[in-house]
Structure 1
Amino acid sequence: MNPAVVRPFGRDDLPGAAAALIKVHETDGYPVEGVEDPDAWISSDDVLAAWVAEMDGDVVGHVAVMRPHGEAAVALWMEQSGADESHVAVLGRLFVVQAARKHATGRRLTEAAMSYGREHDLRLVLDVMAKDAPAMRLYERLGWHKIGETTHHFGDGQGIPAVCYVAPGA
C-alpha cells in the first residue's frame, strides 16, 4: 500500500469520504454523531476548508477546519487567551480508516489543517473524546496543548467526556 496523498477535498470526494466515515465509526465508535447522514456531516456549512487522504484511489481519511459553533474548546481558548472568535477555528471531522493509520495519514491531515490555520491567522482548537487516547497522542506530538475538559454533547441528550486542545502558536 502506497502512502496516502493528502489533498484539498472536492465535491467528488464526498461518497468516498462518507464510506470511510462509516468504516471508522464501525471500528472505533467515532464519530458519535454524523453517521446517520455522513454527506451532510462532512459537507457542513461550517466547513471553511477540508482535505482528504487518498490511497490507491480510495479516500481513507478526512479533516476540516470549521467556523466556531458554540464548542467548549472555543470558549475555553477565548477565556484563557483573550482571543477574538474571528481568529479561532475548530479542527474537526478528522477520521482515518484503520488500514491507513500506519502511514502517518492522521498526522499529515492534521498538519494540512494547521498550515491553513497559520496562513489565515486562525488559532485552531478542538475537543477529542477522552476515550480516544491515540488521537490525543497525535495532537500532543504535533505540539497541541491541553486547555481543559468538557462533555461533548450529542444526540438526544447524550454526552461523553472530552479533552480540549489548542494548536501551537505561529
Structure 2
Amino acid sequence: MERTDVRVRARRRDDLAACVDVLALVHAADGYPVNWPADPAGWLTVRGMTGAWVARRDGRIVGHVLLTAPAAGDVAPSLVAPDVSTVGRLFVSPAARGRRVGAALLARAAREAVLHGTRAVLDVVTTDTAAIALYERLGWEFLGPGRQEWGPGEWVDVRCYAAPRA
C-alpha cells in the first residue's frame, strides 16, 4: 500500500459540491450508493448527524465520512450496548484508494464517537467485500449479520461492525 499525505478535517458547507463529485465517481465505479439520491448534497447531510469529515490529498477532496445518532431500524446499534454512534456515507475516490484514505476517515469517526461518549458502529452490505476487508484489517469487531431496510420493501443483507476498543 502506498502511503501519502492525507489530511482529514471537518466538512464545510462549501465542500459539498466536491463531495458530490467524488460520490458520483464512486457510484459509477462501485454502485454506491445503491440508489442514486435525487438530492446528493442533501443525502450527505443526515438528520441526527453529529459530524462529517472529508479527506484531502494534494489539495482535493478524495473521501468523506459522517457520524450520526442511531436511526430507527439501524441493525448495528441493536447488536451492541447502548451509547453508540453510526458511521455513514463513507466513500473514497477510486483514484485515491490504496492510500489509507478510508482508514484515516474511519479513525477520525471512531475518535469523534469516543469524544461524544459513544462507540462507532456501522453496517455494510455483504457483497461489498472490499469494505469488509478494510474493516477487518483495521480491527473493527464483527458484531453479526443482519437485514437492513434501505427503502420501502427493499431489504439487504449486511454485516455489522464496531470500532476497535481504545
Fold conserved (TM > 0.5)?
A: yes
Amino acid at match of 1:43: T
Using structure 1 for the length normalisation, give the TM-score. Answer: 0.88
**Counterparts of residues 22-61 of structure 1 (less than 5 Å):** 22-33=24-35, 35-61=37-63
CA distance in 2, matches of 1:34, 1:126: 20
Identity %: 41
Q: Quote the residue 1:76 is aligned against.
A: 79
1-structure distance, mates of 2:76, 2:164: 14
Matched, 1:167 2:163: yes
- After superposition, the C-alpha distances for 1:119-166 in whole angstroms (9 at most, x for unaligned) are 222111110011111111111122211111112322342222110111
Task: Indicate conservation of the 8 Å contact 1:24/1:98, yes or no.
Answer: yes
Q: Any unmatched runs of 5+ in structure 1?
A: 78-82
Over residues 12-53 of structure 1, what are the superposed CA-to-partner deviations in whole Å (9 max), with x where a residue is unaligned? 111111111111111101122453321111011221011101
Runs of 4+ with deviation above 3 angstroms = none
Taking structure 2 as the reference length, the TM-score comes to 0.90
- The equivalent position to 2:9 in structure 1, one of 7, 10, 19, is 7
Which is further off, 25-34 or 58-67? Answer: 25-34
Greater share of helix residues, 1 or 2? 1
SS at match of 1:13: helix
Q: Which residue of 2 aligns with 1:129?
A: 125
Q: Which of 51, 57, 66 in structure 2 is aligned with 1:64?
A: 66
CA-atom RMSD in angstroms? 1.7
